[in-house]
Amino acid sequence: MNVVVFDLETTGLSPEKDGIVEIGAVRIVGNRIDETLKYETLVRPTTATGETIRIPWYAERVHGISDAMVRSAPTIDEVLPEFLEFVAGDAVVAHNIGFDGGFMRANARRLGLNWSPAAELCTVQLSRRAFPRERSHNLTMLAERLGLEFAPGGRHRSYGDVQVTAQAYLQLLQRLGQPA
């Protein structure tokens, strides 16, 4: 089974009220990250009625994505069908799948699409199993524990986070003695 590791950047924390501003993904084939099979796009966040959602200052401060950067980007209505085709039939992995999967489910439901990956796997949960004595399992701390580095400007940008999450996923499986 192939696995797609994905990450979202959003305007906030609510899948029902906030919008997606960036999607990044990479496919793992066997136990290898295949950088040629990647997905990366900015998204102009919109409401259910198609109105543009402004990116709040606090969200922009986290991921560095501004209204100007997404002004001419496609909307989730355009992007999600394409992304669902990219992940079709594969399992998906995210760091905190409840968050990213929640946004995918809410947007797919709103658009009458089906978010139904083969499985949803979470590197936060794997990290808790691999490092049960550690208190923090955020991506920065996990990367540090595993000796992984973010590309310059990569932290809190979807593709930068995806690259580290994919490496962490493979290392966590190895630590836990599970096949990729």
Which among 47, 36, 42, 4 has a CA at the least distance from the CA of 23?
Answer: 42
Q: Give the pair of three-digit tokens for residue 11.
A: 């305007």
- Tell me which residue has tokens 């496919």: 27
CA dihedral 133, 136, 139, 141 (to 10 degrees): -80
Give the largest CA-CA distance in the chain. 48
Which of 63, 95, 137, 156 is catalytic? The answer is: 156
Tell me whether residue 95 is one of the annotated catalytic residues: no
Check the CA dihedral 32-62-121-133 and report its sign. positive
Residue 38: beta bridge partners? 26
Distance between CA 114 and CA 110 in Å, rounded?
A: 10
Annotated active-site positions, please? 156
